[in-house]
A and B are shown apart, each in its own frame.
Chain A
């Protein structure tokens, strides 16, 4: 039993972080959506028309 108490005391913060699957889920979704999707959509939304475009005569 004393050994179990020692074991409990020694669980590192990394292990607690890795054991929280739903926190990892949230971070994975957030990082992907922010860095790739949202940033990408912002860039597409603010893209200027090409200077090579010729107006219709």
Chain B
């Protein structure tokens, strides 16, 4: 009981458990460190795929590409999600965090695992890309690092669920879980599905890499890897959508028009979103058309329906809130008079537009079995996922950070005008980057290739000036987006170190 110290946030009225707050802070700061690492190497990759610059040599290109994938898709995002889970459970429910020592074990395992993976990649022991497809074999410590990271993340989810039980038992909230916590629970359930698939695939792969078992079937690996790999991105979707609702509430006081419908959409995510990992297996032999069609369609597109529900619900709730403030002239006065200078609001809008228009539409289309035959393995695919994961999820996480800094770290954001500009640089740059990538991919430019012209290869390919132009646009937009990302990291760190203390 004596360790259950709380403070009451004067802004939100939440009771914040001190141990939860410390864990949130550590996970959030660590996530930004990985974002910085992934962002720096990402910039070098963009400047390499921009053929006119071609910055890195082939060896370092593939090495940095592996590191960029792990740092961004796994490390930055999952550390941030751990912070989100602790916030959505302990803080929103005004509860103590269940078993904080398990939370610290989570942090330690993820930190050690993430660092081990990064070291293995940088020392040239794991030039196997984020996907590490068998029979490509990395040093066994690389796989061990991923296992440790995954076990840590599972523990974080366990603490989240345990905190929900504690909160219910100790009656710290009444009625159903709040919508943001419900969305975070959807993310945590998807995380358990993801990480268990990861354990099933990475443990035998680790044993194979260590020479303990002789064979690891490559198609079984692909099936299980993508059960982990794509589902991990669906955790991001559920967490991102929860943060959309939270940002809409914090920025304009929005309330969902119909919570039943929103919760139904989250339930559809829980039930059906993970099976769409199949779209990574569309060109693989061994799976029937039935397996491909049922799974890649998110079970008759029910999980896509869920995304459509959120895509209407979030803007509609925002519009109603702004109309209630008096902006009722015409169809779009609410949009003109919206708080665009608030980086949380602009991040929300950029995230919804980037994820929905650019990422969502292209994802469903490229994941169609027949269209995938010509979309597979060219730049259209990274163009799609930079729109979803970067312009979508990362943008939303950056947006909520502008609120978390004063609320959880109790520091006023430094340079607020620069903070207002940051989402436009990052989101705008990234949307342009994705579009240019997809345009080049439409011409057949391959992904994961150091040089698109086939230099030193048996075939030379000439793509023509339009492709060179689109790769140049990609490179320049990448620089703009990297600048936005750098400003975010700089302002976050500067706020932690030099920001004026608030809510003391």
On chain A, the residues within 8 Å of B208 by CB distance are none
Name the distance in Å between A20's Cβ and chain B's nearest Cβ.
11
On chain A, the residues within 8 Å of B227 by CB distance are 32, 36-37
Residue B362 at the chain A interface, CB threshold 8 Å: no
On chain A, the residues within 8 Å of B182 by CB distance are 18
On chain A, the residues within 8 Å of B217 by CB distance are 44
**Contact string against B for A residues 18-38, beta-carbon threshold 8 Å, 1 for contact and 0 otherwise:** 110110110111011101110
Distance of A32 Cα from B186 Cα, bound (Å): 14
Residue A13 at the chain B interface, CB threshold 8 Å: no
Whether A27 contacts B274 by the Cβ 8 Å rule is no
Whether A15 contacts B286 by the Cβ 8 Å rule is no
- Number of B interface residues in the complex (CB < 8 A): 40
Whether A36 contacts B190 by the Cβ 8 Å rule is no
Whether B299 contacts A14 by the Cβ 8 Å rule is no
Name the distance in Å between A15's Cβ and chain B's nearest Cβ.
7
Whether B223 contacts A31 by the Cβ 8 Å rule is no
Q: Which of B169-198 contact A (CB under 8 A)?
A: 176-177, 182, 185-186, 189-190, 192-193, 196-197
On chain B, the residues within 8 Å of A33 by CB distance are 193
Whether B272 contacts A31 by the Cβ 8 Å rule is yes
Whether A47 contacts B263 by the Cβ 8 Å rule is no
Pick the contact of A29: B164, B193, B224, B264 (CB < 8 A): B193
Contact A44/B286 with A25-B189, A37-B227, A39-B291 known, Cβ cut-off 8 Å:
yes
Q: Which of B288-325 contact A (CB under 8 A)?
A: 288, 291, 294-295, 299
Contact A28/B274 with A19-B177, A37-B227, A41-B223 known, Cβ cut-off 8 Å:
yes
Residue A6 at the chain B interface, CB threshold 8 Å: no
Whether A35 contacts B295 by the Cβ 8 Å rule is yes
Residue B287 at the chain A interface, CB threshold 8 Å: yes
Whether A44 contacts B270 by the Cβ 8 Å rule is no
Whether B270 contacts A15 by the Cβ 8 Å rule is no
Whether B220 contacts A19 by the Cβ 8 Å rule is no
Residue B468 at the chain A interface, CB threshold 8 Å: no
Residue A43 at the chain B interface, CB threshold 8 Å: yes
On chain A, the residues within 8 Å of B219 by CB distance are 44
Residue B267 at the chain A interface, CB threshold 8 Å: yes
A residues whose Cβ falls under 8 Å from a Cβ of B: 14-15, 18-19, 21-22, 24-25, 27-29, 31-33, 35-37, 39-41, 43-44, 47, 50
Instruction: Name 9 extra pairs, CB < 8 A, besides A24-B270, A36-B295.
Output: A18-B176, A22-B161, A24-B185, A24-B267, A29-B193, A32-B274, A35-B275, A36-B278, A41-B223
B residues whose Cβ falls under 8 Å from a Cβ of A: 161, 164, 176-177, 182, 185-186, 189-190, 192-193, 196-197, 217, 219-220, 223-224, 227, 231, 260, 263-264, 267, 270-272, 274-275, 277-278, 281, 285-288, 291, 294-295, 299
